């Protein structure tokens, strides 16, 4: 899922400083699960904003709402009329949600309240780690299902580098060396041969190197 | 001869080879290279010219290599994967060869977050193995990475890579070394050796697989001037193994500089007696002036004429 983190309050306040009435739009998808952008997060953020603005003698009115997913028209269309009553929308969805709002409702402006971080999974309750970089050419078939592109600081395909020590990455003691993880996994699966092949340079065109990517599913086109 | 460098000639002649390190300055002063080159000229077979080492901006390793040549020192130009994509790398390889550089050392590079521009975007288009393979391809197959022919004047390098016997997973380091050799590494320089038992274990695995016959292995030697330097490396440099006894020995020394030289000499003596070690790579971090003394005392001077 997409994992996001809230922007600092001061940055949010700065971005909405010109408005007296806004809509704070949460999202019922990924960001609800990672606590940054659900109904509860919206309630908390709204009260923080109101308090700050009252303190400054510049009160603000906030309408809160939570579409099931901010990245789909059918869920955001129901707020179309309400948008006319506000000067701006503050979104606490991922970057896709923010952009869906801006493109779909050309006459209004939607500002980001979150920093979208990565595609990850919950390692434990309330802790997410990056797992997929969306490189567009999945390598997991030979790595024991563990991604070196998303998890290696140097994106090595022929790792590990000389900085792998006691299972830890040289970049940060809190990050596991993914190549140690891959090695251990392949030993366990008796597939260490996968690592004796010299892996060729990656064609990064499938990633973000060749401009915006698109996927068209012909069979489902209307 | 693959490139005909002095380093290649010394190694292929079966002589114990010696390289040292020559770090470019963090400014545009050519004299700084010339001054450092004086510590190397005539006493080493070649000197590694580092490429923005520890991710701190310095003069280009290729420009500094060209100045080293003018100063009578054969360079081993280092090239890291951190700062350039495959286009820039190949372009720089052509440029380096045109300037007379004959040895190249391929590394991933210290991660940019350790350096003085931690917010920089790391490139890592290729990894170090893929870089080795590309340099070999340009030299032996006379083609660019994309397969297009280099019609004439292909760059000819004696290709080096690094290996760290002290990093993990230990059992896999030798597999990876074998991969580097398959990719095209003509010589290997290792991380600084302080933990001799571990280096010996690693070399035994290397020799058992016959890898010492497919590449030249040069052991990394770092003389230190104080026990604090050892503690610093132990705590701050990933993939370094520094035994506590060594720290105690340096701490208890009456003359730490003399003890540092003594330890370096003992290490050199030990690695010369390990089967499969073809040379040494001296990395006197910030203590380049000691190079000649150590090599003299180790009986490695004068260098063989090849």
Phi-psi region of B231 (alpha: psi -120 to 50; beta: other; left: phi over 0): alpha
> pLDDT tens digit string along B248-264?
999 999 999 999 999 99
- Buried b / exposed e over B63-99, threshold 16 CB at 10 Å, is bbbbbbbebebbbbbbbbbbbbebeebbebbbebbee
Identify the CA nearest to A63 among candidates A31, A32, A108: A108
**Is the pLDDT assigned to residue A62 strictly greater than 90?**
yes
Token pair for residue A68? 């099931």
Domain-wise residue ranges, chain A: 2-117, 134-209
List phi, psi (to 5°) of A178.
-65, -25
Tell if the CB–CB gap between A160 and B172 is shorter than 8 Å.
yes
Q: CA-CA distance, B43 to B47, in Å (whole number)? A: 10
- Following CA atoms A91, A97, A101, A102 in sequence, which dihedral angle do they give, to the nearest 10 degrees? 90
Give the distance from residue B175's alpha carbon to the nearest chain A alpha carbon, in angstroms: 7
Overall average pLDDT of the B184-203 stretch: 98
Residues of A with Cβ-Cβ distance to B130 under 8 angstroms: 157-158, 198-201
For residue B183, the chain A residue with the least C-alpha distance is A198
**Is the pLDDT assigned to residue B238 strictly greater than 90?**
no
Who's near A84: CB < 8 A, 6+ residues apart? none
**Is the pLDDT assigned to residue A90 strictly greater than 90?**
yes
Overall average pLDDT of the B10-14 stretch: 98
List phi, psi (to 5°) of A219.
-55, -30
> pLDDT tens digit string along B137-169?
999 999 999 999 999 999 999 999 999 999 999
Token pair for residue B237? 């440099």
Q: CA-CA distance, A153 to A159, in Å (whole number)? A: 11
Residues of B with Cβ-Cβ distance to A168 under 8 angstroms: 238
Token pair for residue A67? 């579409």
Tell if the CB–CB gap between A155 and B124 is shorter than 8 Å.
yes
Percent share of chain B, pLDDT over 90: 97
Residues of B with Cβ-Cβ distance to A183 under 8 angstroms: 169, 172
A37 preceded by a cis bond (ω within 30 of 0): no
HSE-CB of A97 using CA atoms within 13 angstroms: 33
Strands A168-169 and B158-163: unpaired
List phi, psi (to 5°) of B175.
-60, -45
List phi, psi (to 5°) of B163.
-145, 145
Integer distance in angstroms from the first to the last C-alpha of chain B?
13
* Domains and their CATH numbers in chain B: 6-297 (3.20.20.220)
Give the distance from residue A92's alpha carbon to the nearest chain B alpha carbon, in angstroms: 26
DSSP assignment of A197-215: SPPPPP-GGGTGGGS----
The mean of the pLDDT values for chain B is: 97
**Is the pLDDT assigned to residue B63 strictly greater than 90?**
yes
CATH topology for A2-117?
A: Rossmann fold (3.40.50)
Q: Determine the pLDDT at residue A222.
A: 83
Q: Determine the pLDDT at residue A64.
A: 98
Long-range pairs for B146-150 at CB < 8 Å and ≥24 separation? none
Which helix (H) or strand (E) segment holds residue A95: the answer is: helix A95-104
Give the distance from residue B225's alpha carbon to the nearest chain A alpha carbon, in angstroms: 24
Nearest to A183 among B163, B169, B178 (CB): B169
Rg (CA), chain B: 18
Tell if the CB–CB gap between A160 and B163 is shorter than 8 Å.
no
List phi, psi (to 5°) of B219.
-80, 140
Tell if the CB–CB gap between A156 and B182 is shorter than 8 Å.
no
DSSP assignment of B119-179: TSPP--SS-HHHHHHHHHIIIII-B-TTS-B--S-----EEEEEE-TTSSSHHHHHHHHHH
**Is the pLDDT assigned to residue B237 strictly greater than 90?**
no
Cβ of residue B128 closer than 8 Å to a chain A Cβ: yes
pLDDT band at A92 (very low <50, low <70, confident <90, very high): very high
> pLDDT tens digit string along B45-56?
999 999 999 999
Q: Please tell me what DSSP assigns to residue A62.
A: E
Determine which of B54, B90, B163, B169 to mutate to test the interface with A (most A C-beta atoms within 10 Å): B169
Tell if the CB–CB gap between B128 and A157 is shorter than 8 Å.
no
Q: Determine the pLDDT at residue B143.
A: 98
**Is the pLDDT assigned to residue B94 strictly greater than 90?**
yes
The residue behind tokens 């997991």 is A140
Determine which of A201, A202, A204, A209 to mutate to test the interface with B (most B C-beta atoms within 10 Å): A201
Q: Determine the pLDDT at residue B285.
A: 85
Output the CA torsion sign for A43, A49, A52, A57: negative
């Amino acid at each position: 899922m997409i994992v996001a983190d809230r922007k600092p309050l001061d940055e949010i306040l700065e971005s909405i400083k010109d408005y007296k009435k806004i809509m704070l739009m949460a999202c019922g998808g990924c960001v609800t699960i990672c606590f940054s952008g659900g109904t509860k997060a919206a309630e908390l953020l709204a009260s923080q904003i109101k308090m700050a603005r009252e303190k400054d003698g510049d009160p603000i009115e906030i309408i809160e709402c939570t579409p099931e997913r901010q990245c789909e028209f059918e869920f955001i269309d129901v707020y179309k009329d309400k948008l006319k009553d506000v000067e701006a929308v503050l979104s606490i969805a991922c970057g896709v949600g923010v952009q869906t709002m801006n493109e779909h409702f050309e006459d209004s402006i939607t500002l980001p309240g979150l920093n979208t971080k990565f595609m990850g999974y919950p390692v434990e309750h309330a802790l997410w780690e990056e797992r997929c970089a969306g490189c567009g050419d999945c390598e997991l078939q030979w790595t024991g299902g563990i991604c070196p592109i998303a998890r290696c600081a140097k994106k090595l395909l022929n790792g590990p580098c000389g900085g792998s020590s006691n299972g830890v990455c040289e970049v940060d003691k809190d990050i596991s060396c993914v190549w140690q993880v891959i090695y251990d996994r392949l030993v366990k699966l008796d597939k260490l041969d996968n690592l004796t092949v010299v892996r060729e340079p990656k064609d990064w065109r499938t990633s973000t190197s060749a401009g915006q990517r698109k996927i068209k599913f012909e069979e489902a086109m209307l | 001869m693959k490139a005909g460098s002095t380093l290649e000639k010394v190694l292929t002649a079966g002589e114990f080879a010696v390289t040292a390190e020559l770090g470019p300055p963090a400014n545009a002063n050519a004299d700084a290279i010339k001054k450092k080159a004086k510590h190397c000229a005539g006493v080493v077979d070649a000197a590694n010219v580092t490429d923005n080492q520890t991710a701190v901006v310095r003069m280009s390793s290729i420009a500094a290599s060209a100045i080293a040549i003018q100063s009578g020192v054969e360079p081993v130009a280092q090239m890291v994967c951190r700062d350039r994509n495959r286009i820039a790398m190949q372009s720089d390889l052509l440029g380096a060869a045109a300037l007379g550089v004959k040895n190249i050392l391929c590394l991933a590079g210290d991660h940019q977050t350790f350096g003085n521009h931690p917010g920089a975007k790391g490139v890592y288009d290729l990894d170090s193995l893929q870089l080795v393979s590309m340099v070999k391809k340009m030299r032996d197959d006379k083609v660019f990475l994309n397969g297009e022919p280099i019609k004439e004047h292909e760059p000819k390098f004696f290709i080096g890579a690094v290996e760290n016997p002290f990093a993990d997973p230990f059992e896999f380091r030798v597999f990876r070394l074998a991969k580097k050799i398959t990719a095209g590494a003509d010589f290997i320089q290792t991380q600084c050796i302080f933990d001799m038992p571990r280096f010996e274990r690693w070399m035994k695995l290397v020799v058992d697989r016959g890898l010492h016959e497919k590449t030249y292995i040069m052991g990394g030697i770092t003389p230190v001037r104080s026990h604090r330097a050892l503690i610093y490396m132990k705590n701050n440099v990933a993939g370094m193994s520094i035994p506590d006894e060594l720290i105690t020995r340096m701490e208890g020394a009456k003359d730490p500089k003399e003890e540092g030289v003594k330890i370096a000499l003992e290490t050199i003596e030990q690695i010369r007696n390990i089967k499969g070690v073809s040379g040494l790579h001296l990395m006197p971090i910030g203590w380049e002036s000691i190079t000649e003394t150590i090599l003299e005392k180790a009986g490695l001077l004068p260098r063989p004429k090849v």
